[in-house]
Amino acid sequence: MGKRPTVKLAFLLASLSVGLLIFVYWESIIWFGAESMPTPNRPLTVGGINRTNKDPSQAVSTVRSENIVPATMSNRRIPVQQHEEVEQREEEELQEDEKESGGVSAEDMEQRARKQRIEDVCSEMRSTHKFPSMTRSFNQIPNNELGHFIVDDKHQIIYCYVPKVACTRWKSVMIILSQSQISPLTGKPYTAPKEIPRDIIHNRISHLTFDKFMHIYGSQSRSQMKTKLQTYTKFLFVRDPFVRLISAFRDKLGKPDQYFYMRFGSKILRHYGHVSSLPNIAEEAFAAGFKPTFQQFITYLLDPKRKEVLTEHWLQAYRLCHPCQVKYDFIGQHETFNTDAKQLLKLLKVVKWLHLPSAYPNLTETSWVRDWFNQIPIEAQRKLYKMYELDFKLFGYPKPDGIADE
């Protein structure tokens, strides 16, 4: 009889142990699931994207709409897979639209028109010999005029950059594609354009350019250039020449940039502003009211006695990228940047993993040309147009209003 209480006690303890184990098991499942659930202080991260819900009550519905079971790694990949499926469907729809329209999209038609325009203008230049530099062969272009061709051997891409035409963004893209620069924060190549400091983006050391080929390939440098030009995808972006000039003036001479003030601004002020004594510090000069005007800048550009070679920021695009010697696969325009960038990334086959930021706000607008050039005498405007005439014609920009044919 004395054994029965002992048996009952043992049975009770065993039952409690099993119950405790079950309780711990379910608590652990709930806890692991909750680790990935959004809360007011913890964002829901899906495929690297922060999807924080400001209203915690929406957290569960957000997870269900994504079909995510947070504790399983395979299910965490579903959003990425869905994203790729969406892109594939969009690509298929685009192909269907192209078939219905005869196999050529409106964007492709525009590219054909831009390329044909360049061919027509170059053909005209060759026949008239009006611009000798346009009739020379690629081999006749000196190395110091080829420094704007950036090469990415990994993806077989060549980009000719034109300053003040979104070149910061495209240079950063070339750094990412070539994996030529390492982030000090991660110890790995940069993966996003906004992560790369401007001094790295615009440092010539950061890029492989044609003018460096002589040091790399020696006597085979021209042969290497020709081979890459024939086989790589080549692109450039252009802009209305007068708008580009306004943008260059605002960025380089319209604010106290020490380098441009000492190299150009102070000289323009002395020669065309008739200022005899100037501070050596740009900020001090600007604070005292000494800064070049746009009219002085244009006078400087048109001065036949000017001995200084034009800087790349206001040198003509055709002299930087030689469109009559290089047959480009894609010609983008700054005015249609977002549309053209999307099309180009597809052409380069990098759209799925490379995101390019949209055009920056506060851009110099085409509509500003009339206001900025109101202060410029009409004769000076005509001379300036002649100076940039080939850029206007090659890239399809209309002659500015107010400049009558002579």
pLDDT tens across the length of the chain (406 residues):
454 555 455 555 555 555 555 444 444 433 333 333 333 333 333 333 343 333 333 333 333 333 323 333 333 333 444 445 545 554 555 555 555 555 789 999 999 999 999 999 999 998 888 888 888 999 999 999 999 999 999 999 999 999 999 999 999 999 999 999 999 999 999 998 889 999 999 999 999 999 999 999 999 999 999 999 999 999 999 999 999 999 999 999 999 999 999 999 999 999 999 999 999 999 999 999 999 999 999 999 999 998 888 999 999 999 999 999 999 999 999 999 999 999 999 999 987 777 766 655 555 566 788 889 998 999 999 999 999 999 999 999 999 887 855 5
Residue 84 pLDDT: 52
1/18 Cα distance (integer angstroms)? 27
Within a domain: 166:
yes
Using alpha carbons, select from 235, 291, 255, 249 the residue that is nearest to residue 164. Answer: 249
Residue 401 pLDDT: 82
Q: How many residues does the chain have?
A: 406
370/392 Cα distance (integer angstroms)? 16
Within a domain: 175:
yes
Strands 45-46 and 149-152: unpaired
Range of the domain at 170: 107-240+316-364
Within a domain: 27:
no
Residue 54 pLDDT: 38
Within a domain: 98:
no
Within a domain: 73:
no
Number of domains within the chain:
1
Stated pTM of the model: 0.74
Within a domain: 333:
yes
Within a domain: 176:
yes
279/285 Cα distance (integer angstroms)? 5
Within a domain: 374:
no
Contact 399, 373 (CB under 8 A): no
